[in-house]
Amino acid sequence: MKRSISLWLAAFGLSFLACVLPAQAQSQAQRPVAGTHYVAIDPPLATDNPDKIEVVEFFSYGCPHCFDLSASLNRWVAKLPADVTFYRIPVGFNQPYYQLMARFYYALEALGELERLDKAAFEAIHMKGLKLVDEKSLADWVASQGVDAKKFHDAFNAFGVVSKTRRADQMTQAAGVPGVPALVVDGRYRVLTKGIKEAHELLTRTDLVIEKRRAERAAKTAPKTASKAAPKTGKK
């Protein structure tokens, strides 16, 4: 956990503001610069839908800055354009606590409780200070939220949940994620947090990278209109 927090603190310096304007409402006159606003992922990560620009947040319930970002991020996601899709990957970082939190996330997803309990899980850890540090404490907490504890244990230890957690670890490593939260655009660009002090700045920067990727896709699919002079077929 120290790894994520120290990296994020070094990059951000200051805490996020609680309330920010949606990043999409701001003027986007700036173009993203490699090494300053983003870093290319080579080779690119596979994406689920080739027809959409895919944004992925790498995060953890145990990360305080992921919690700080969550409200602004949710508002931003709600206003994403139709050609952009979003989902999250819980990191494991090959550390027991982060792997526990990743399995917790996928267990809630498997039970169909993720949407209902996502915010509550963040708040339980970061506002109420609950020590959700092992399977039993997690099961006790979800039971307090109306989820059958046995069903949670079964989901937490299910092959599908364990496999997703391992896959999340692989994706985290492939994206070169050094700390969380981290945003990746279309499997190709990881948004950098250098110089960012507030939540909306990260989202604004992500908007810039999305626009870059949109322009690249448009250029690739645009019909080639190379004009060729019509051949002369006769004499005057």
Beta strands in 125-211 (DSSP E): 182-185, 189-191
**Is 27 a domain residue?**
no
pLDDT > 50? residue 20:
no
pLDDT > 90? residue 221:
no
- Is 184 in contact with 38 (CB distance < 8 Å)? no
CA distance 184 to 191: 6
**Is 223 a domain residue?**
no
pLDDT > 80? residue 1:
no
**Is 231 a domain residue?**
no
Q: Which pLDDT tens digit goes with each residue over 43-85?
A: 999 999 999 999 999 999 999 999 999 999 999 999 999 999 9
CATH number, residue 144: 3.40.30.10
**Is 17 a domain residue?**
no
Look at the chain and report how many structural domains it folds into.
1
**Is 20 a domain residue?**
no
pTM of the model: 0.82
**Is 230 a domain residue?**
no
- Is 182 in contact with 190 (CB distance < 8 Å)? yes
One DSSP character per residue, 193-208 reads: -TT--SHHHHHHHHHH
Element (H, E) at 38: strand 38-40
Average pLDDT of the segment spanning 99-116: 98
Average pLDDT of the segment spanning 105-121: 98
Residue 90 domain boundaries? 2-11+38-217
**Is 111 a domain residue?**
yes
pLDDT > 90? residue 126:
yes
**Is 33 a domain residue?**
no
Q: Which pLDDT tens digit goes with each residue over 155-203?
A: 999 999 999 999 999 999 999 999 999 999 999 999 999 889 898 999 9
